[in-house]
Amino acid sequence: MKLIDTTLDRNIKPEDVRSRLMVLTFIAFGIFAVLISRLWFLQVMGGQMYVELAEGNYIRIVPIDAPRGLIYDRNGQVLVSNRPSIGVSVSPQFAEKYPETLNKLSKILGMPINEIKDKLSEKKVDPLKPRVIKRDLDEQTLAYIEEHKMELPGVDIITEPIRAYPYGTLGAHIFGYLGEISEDEMSKLKNTNDYMLGDVIGKTGVESLYERLLRGEKGSQQLEVNASGRPIRVIKNQEPIPGSNLMLTIDLNVQKVTEQALDEAIQRAHSSAKPENGAKADAAAAVVLDAKNGEIIAMASYPTYNPELFVGGISKNDWDNLVNPDNRFPLNNRALMAYPPGSTFKPITLMGALADGLTSRNESFVCKGSWDGLGKDWIRYCWDHAGHGRITLAMGVAESCDTVFYILGQRFYRQAQERLQYWAKNFGFGSLTGIDLPMEAKGRVPDKQWKKDFNKGSPEFQKWYPGDTVNIAIGQGDLLATPLQMASFYATIANGGTFYRPHVGKAMISWNGNMKTEFKIKPEDKRTIPIPRDAIAFAQSSLELVTTQGTAASAFAGFPVKTAGKTGTSQVRGKQDFAWFVGYAPADDPKYVVAITVEQGGHGGSTAAPAARKILATALGCQDKGAGYIYDPSR
């Protein structure tokens, strides 16, 4: 039997063994070096990072929104304030993990569970941000939730400052409303570190235009939390800096009366209409302007809405009601929307014709009730089909005789220089006034180029005809103007030819401890209109005749202050006539301008002018017993 030789292969040399041992030694040292370097990195280089991550498991930094600045009227009356609200919030991630929590919360709050789920599923920029389920909890409900915290994971009691509107719907279109920041808004503010996902931001009105000043600066709170994410103690507090307060040019009392007057104008239109016609009169707007500096004293739009609906996020049902066409779109600020101005535009035609030498102060005209100056096939009618007979230029304004302005319009057309459009644009029509409110319409002053561009797909409608200019001369056709533009235009007439940019911001007031800082907001635009002084003077005297002998004489009979103005009844295709009145007082030292339009409200003299009378009486502080339109502060 052959024995196995267990001895080493005698052919292996000693130097081979040593080389292999050296390789193994290097490998061992390499592994050891990697472990040492990794350990050194974790403890030295990455130590601080991992400490912070570990601390993040029990420390939460919660941003604290700054109290938003208050909004005052020109006399220091609070129009928009803040109030603390105690509510209950639910974190969406906990709601998914513990669905039974929603059933418990539904019973505690007395809310249908579907309503709670709707609030949790509302679209938010930050999907993890807790949703406020209910605000203004009563003491009993608050105490119960506090006592049963451990049974309600993801449910927290929160205290937040929310907007308060002591006068309800009053001034809603001026103030605007707040809402959660959108993705588009966030991208525009990407260079601003103060905005975060889910923040509330001004969406409309002065809340939007003065957002940065009203907002303030956020604070923060460092909280120690347990494994369930519930706060244990406060580690550190950094107090927020409140936003600056905004003082408006608005006068609270005049604003109240203006909104009352619009409501009464709607009712007056309904009651004065013939039963078989039935005036719809379902919307209106008014602007009250200081003729000497462009300050907005009041601005109203009917129908209106309550900005309280948007506090904490508007419900789907409320939003659907606001955008329902049957409710006449109450979110629209009609004072900034464009309409055919009708006869309230005629002073432009008057002053332009005087400036261009197309007529004279002493010229008289013959009105037969119809005018065939464009040919027998294109007869135009005066609003008074019986005719005004021979009438002077001044009385043509007072009586709003269409025939007079048809003739002037034809003379403008024959100039072939679009001078009527030139004068309209000089007085600001077809351009933004620059008011510090969003969504202002430019209006429209149609001319040859506009008509050609507008009808580029229909060459047969591109030509500009004499009738187009004649239509503009009486404030009709494709001409559009906003109530604000009309108020600014009449302010320019009233003050002798100076345009002031209208504005609602008067001053910003901020506090640093006990130190008060106030700076005034001044209009940037002030310009003189290049119109002859005698043309403006003649327009002023003619507009006075409107309220003493003309179409607004009945509305202003017995009014204790001399007033000037112009009625208007504009035609809109497919709708009933729109009622207008624009005027100012005192006529001999103009202070306030009022512009009113009532959609489908009939005649300006009977619907809009009485409303203007009531507003002017309040703004001027005079006792007006002649028409019975006395300010009722209880309304």
Within a domain: residue 632? no
Q: Which two tokens stand for residue 489?
A: 């235009």
Same domain, 69 and 92: no
Quick check: 608 pLDDT over 60? yes
Within a domain: residue 47? no
Same domain, 321 and 386: yes
CATH (domain of 504): 3.40.710.10
Last residue of a domain, one of 222, 248, 274: 248
Last residue of a domain, one of 204, 219, 248: 248
Same domain, 442 and 589: yes
CA distance 2 to 514: 111
Quick check: 556 pLDDT over 90? yes
- How many structural domains comprise the chain? 3
Contacts (Cβ under 8 Å, ≥6 apart) of 73: 79, 247, 248, 250, 251, 252, 255
- Cβ burial, residue 460 (10 Å; 0-12/13-18/19+): exposed
Quick check: 194 pLDDT over 50? yes
For residues 313-330, one letter each, b for 16 or more C-beta atoms within 10 angstroms of the residue's C-beta and e for the rest, the string is: bbeeeeeeebeeeeeeeb
266: helix, strand or coil: helix
Percent of the chain's residues with pLDDT above 90: 59
Q: ω into residue 161 within 30 of 0, thus cis?
A: no
Within a domain: residue 12? no
Bridge partners (DSSP) listed for residue 444: 480
Range scoring the smallest mean pLDDT among 112-116, 163-167, 182-186, 493-497: 182-186
CA distance 568 to 45: 80
Most confident of 73-77, 126-130, 234-238, 309-313: 73-77
45-88 tens-digit pLDDT: 555 555 554 555 567 676 777 889 999 999 999 999 998 888 88
CATH (domain of 66): 3.90.1310.10
Within a domain: residue 503? yes
In 165-252, which ranges are E strands? Answer: 178-180, 200-202, 219-225, 231-238, 245-248
Which DSSP symbol is given to 512?
E
Q: Which two tokens stand for residue 286?
A: 């008014």
Domain that holds residue 291: 252-620
Same domain, 115 and 190: no
Q: What is the pLDDT of residue 436?
A: 94
18-34 tens-digit pLDDT: 676 676 776 777 777 77
Same domain, 345 and 412: yes
518-529 tens-digit pLDDT: 667 776 678 899
Within a domain: residue 425? yes
Mean pLDDT of 601-605: 92
Same domain, 362 and 455: yes
The C-alpha angle 504, 507, 510, rounded to 5 degrees, equals 135
Last residue of a domain, one of 188, 223, 248: 248
Radius of gyration of the chain (CA): 36
Please give the span between the terminal C-alpha atoms of the chain, in angstroms, as a whole number: 128
Same domain, 300 and 397: yes
Reported confidence tier of residue 630, pLDDT bands at 50, 70, 90: very low
Within a domain: residue 39? no
Same domain, 383 and 500: yes
Within a domain: residue 6? no
Q: What is the pLDDT of residue 629?
A: 42
Q: Which two tokens stand for residue 316?
A: 């789907």
Q: ω into residue 303 within 30 of 0, thus cis?
A: yes
469-516 tens-digit pLDDT: 999 999 999 999 999 999 999 999 999 999 999 999 999 887 665 555
Quick check: 220 pLDDT over 80? no
Q: Which two tokens stand for residue 540?
A: 């002023």
Same domain, 233 and 261: no
DSSP for 34-58 reads: HHHHHHHIIIIISHHHHHHHHHHTT
Within a domain: residue 25? no
277-297 tens-digit pLDDT: 567 899 999 999 999 999 999
Same domain, 486 and 375: yes
Same domain, 266 and 240: no
CA distance 596 to 335: 9
Same domain, 96 and 203: no
| Total-model pTM | 0.84
